[in-house]
């Protein structure tokens, strides 16, 4: 079970970091291209809703949870006080947020659908280019 929590946590971080890095890569910097970022998030949520057969209430809840926690994680990642931290230290600092997010998602989806969500996140997490490895089976 602990492995599953780590995988969901990592997938959530990957999504949050992918969104942030995409904004920087597009030259948005701190201003960000919020329209494009929202569009990517909406597309991912729409795919999740279809693939997992979520109800509209579940989809709306997932969107609200995602928005809330992605912003909190982005704030930690972007905080100048955290810039000197190692990746592992930042990940550890975000662990309570990941745990809270997973608890809220499981409450919305129930245990069976939560397991399907975990598998879906694993299969659909954004692929990052560039090599360097990392993020494999831990």
- Each residue of 27-72: pLDDT tens digit? 444 445 677 877 888 888 899 999 999 999 999 999 999 889 888 8
Assign 104 a pLDDT band (cuts: 50, 70, 90).
Answer: very high
Contact 106, 114 (CB under 8 A): yes
Contact 43, 49 (CB under 8 A): no
pTM for the predicted model, two decimal places: 0.64
CA distances for 77 relative to 65, 81, 106, 135, angstroms? 18, 9, 25, 18
Rounded to 5, what percent of the chain is helix, strand, coil?
80, 0, 20
Averaged pLDDT for residues 86-114 = 91
Assign 24 a pLDDT band (cuts: 50, 70, 90).
Answer: very low
Q: What is the pLDDT of residue 4?
A: 55
Q: What is the pLDDT of residue 127?
A: 63
Q: What percentage of the chain exceeds 70 in pLDDT?
A: 66
The Cα 6–Cα 19 span in angstroms is 20
The Cα 25–Cα 71 span in angstroms is 18
Assign 110 a pLDDT band (cuts: 50, 70, 90).
Answer: very high
């Amino acid at each position: 079970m602990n492995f599953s929590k780590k995988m969901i946590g990592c997938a959530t971080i990957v999504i949050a970091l992918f969104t942030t890095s995409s904004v920087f890569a597009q030259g948005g910097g701190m201003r960000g291209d919020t329209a494009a970022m929202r569009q990517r998030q909406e597309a991912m949520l729409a795919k999740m809703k279809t693939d997992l057969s979520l109800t509209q209430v579940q989809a709306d809840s997932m969107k609200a949870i995602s928005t809330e926690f992605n912003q909190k994680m982005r704030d930690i990642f972007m905080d100048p006080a955290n810039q000197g931290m190692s990746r592992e230290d930042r990940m550890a600092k975000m662990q309570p947020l990941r745990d809270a997010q997973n608890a809220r998602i499981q409450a919305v989806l129930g245990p069976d659908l939560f397991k399907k969500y975990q598998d879906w996140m694993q299969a659909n997490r954004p692929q990052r280019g560039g090599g360097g490895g990392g993020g494999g089976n831990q």
